[in-house]
Amino acid sequence: MKPAAALAWLRCAGARAWIAAFSLLVVVITAWDPAAVLLRSAQPTSLKLPVLGLLLASGGVLVASVWVQRFSYAQSFMAAWTFVFLGMTGALQGAQGRYPWHGSFSTGHVTKVAWIALLGFAVMATLSFVPRLPWQRVTLARTDHAVRSRLAGTPSIAWALVGLQLVSTLLLVGYLGPHAMVNGREEFKAALAQAVGRPGLGSAFFLATALGMVLPAALLWLRRHRHCSWLAVVLSVIAGAVANNPLIGSRFLTACFGVALVCALLNRNLVARLLPAGMVLGLLFVFPSLDLWRGDGTGSHTFTVASPRSTLATGDFDAFEMTARAVEAKDAGNSGLQSPGEQAGSALFYWVPGLARHFPKVGSGSVVGTATGMTFTNVSMPLQGEGYLLGGIGGALGVCALMGLWLQWLRRGSLGRSGWTPGPTDAATGALLFIVLRGSIMSVLDYLLAAVFVGVLLQIMSGRRAGRRRRP
């Protein structure tokens, strides 16, 4: 290695170390109170062990993910989401035995749920760090010139995807009317209900919002190699902003679009590694107030900043409780649950014309909520809970393994002389994981599949297959 290159590497490694130290500080400060409450509680050691294990494991992976050379938004955000929504909430709520929707569980049951959450996270995290799986080949890194030459076929693909996004967005606005796009969740839902039956409405809504989340970030990935015009990027961003604007009242759509775009703009910048710790702080202090524009009486009325202890007791942080309810209902053989086929079919075909009508259009969170006596059922269902409903502990670990494999594929990215670049939809997947992992997965799996489709298509067309060189 030349002296100048060695000095640059040392400077980069030093900056990564400082960022990791900052992230560790955020993890320690935010986890201190929930961990202290759990340790001081009268709960038995058998419960404290897996809950603290989940808190420490997710926080540790978050810090490690911003320190290693191959930084991936998706991997880091997976750890951040688990740290807050399962680790911190599990510690605080489990210690006090008080949950947002007033569930009542035995100590043994909470212990089992904590182990399921911990093992599921361990599977995802472990697979995401694997340098190479047995079926993945290893070749030498391509030079930048070789990479650019293989991108020659991608502009037409990019424009085809942008064209599909523009047509879908225009069709959606034409069906609902511009007024419905800027007047809150209630009016948007009413306009959707009135437009039911119009040809292609569901597909237009899904494609406009899904491509709006995924495509702008992916096009910026292409633009980095000058094989996507700025016009395509700008048009995609404008269409995404229209379809996913905050005035339709959806935190899911707006947040995923905004986060994916910001992450893509900061890609390959060391500042990007500060985002996971920043997201932890945002989830604790800002996230509960991001439904100001809902307009249906169920959202925030003012922008407020609350303490983590009070924030973690609200319905926005019901992931641990809903996992516990899912495990309880499955173990009891509750007749109100869907069959595994209905659950999987609803998630896979929710936006597919023709097939969707053959499956119940209700998420697992709502089904479990109703089956366990809840009156308000607009609730979460984390990935571990979804998997447990499908096939017990094996199902929970299986779906977590699939997620880990996707994260590993994204993280391997590719290498050229200018350095490492993650997969084309790494930023979009990172943004989507806050909802995919939180669930219910019925309404969000197809969005993730859209990211998978766009990512694999662009990766294959550009000839930049994952894993050009072994690196930790």
Q: What is the pLDDT of residues 110-159, one digit of tens each?
A: 999 999 999 999 999 999 998 877 777 654 444 444 444 444 445 678 88
- Report the pLDDT value the prediction gives residue 277, as an integer from 0 to 100: 94
The one-character DSSP state at 88 is I
Mean pLDDT of the chain: 83
Decide: 26 and 279 in contact? Cβ < 8 Å.
no
| Residue 42 or 468, more confident | 42
- Report the pLDDT value the prediction gives residue 158, as an integer from 0 to 100: 84
Q: Is pLDDT at 387 greater than 90 in this prediction?
A: yes
Average pLDDT of 205-209? 91
Q: Is pLDDT at 45 greater than 60 in this prediction?
A: yes
421 forms beta bridges with: 414
Average pLDDT of 210-218? 92
Cβ-in-10-Å burial (0-12, 13-18, 19+) of 423 comes to buried
Q: Dump pLDDT digits (tens) for 80-109.
A: 999 999 999 999 999 988 999 998 999 999
Q: Dump pLDDT digits (tens) for 354-383.
A: 787 888 888 899 999 999 999 888 899 999
Gyration radius of the chain over CA positions: 22
Decide: 57 and 122 in contact? Cβ < 8 Å.
yes
Q: Dump pLDDT digits (tens) for 6-37.
A: 555 555 778 888 999 999 999 999 999 999 99
In the block, residue with structure tokens 């996913």: 244
Average pLDDT of 173-191? 80
416 forms beta bridges with: 419
Alpha helices in 196-313 (DSSP H): 201-223, 230-243, 251-266, 275-285, 308-311
Percentage of residues in the chain having pLDDT higher than 90: 45
- Report the pLDDT value the prediction gives residue 234, as an integer from 0 to 100: 93
The one-character DSSP state at 292 is T
Return the structure tokens found at 235. Answer: 């048009």
- Report the pLDDT value the prediction gives residue 249, as an integer from 0 to 100: 65
Considering Cα of 425, then 426, then 431, then 433, what sign does the dihedral take? positive
* CA 5/CA 14 separation, integer angstroms: 14
Q: Is pLDDT at 412 greater than 70 in this prediction?
A: yes
- Report the pLDDT value the prediction gives residue 151, as an integer from 0 to 100: 43
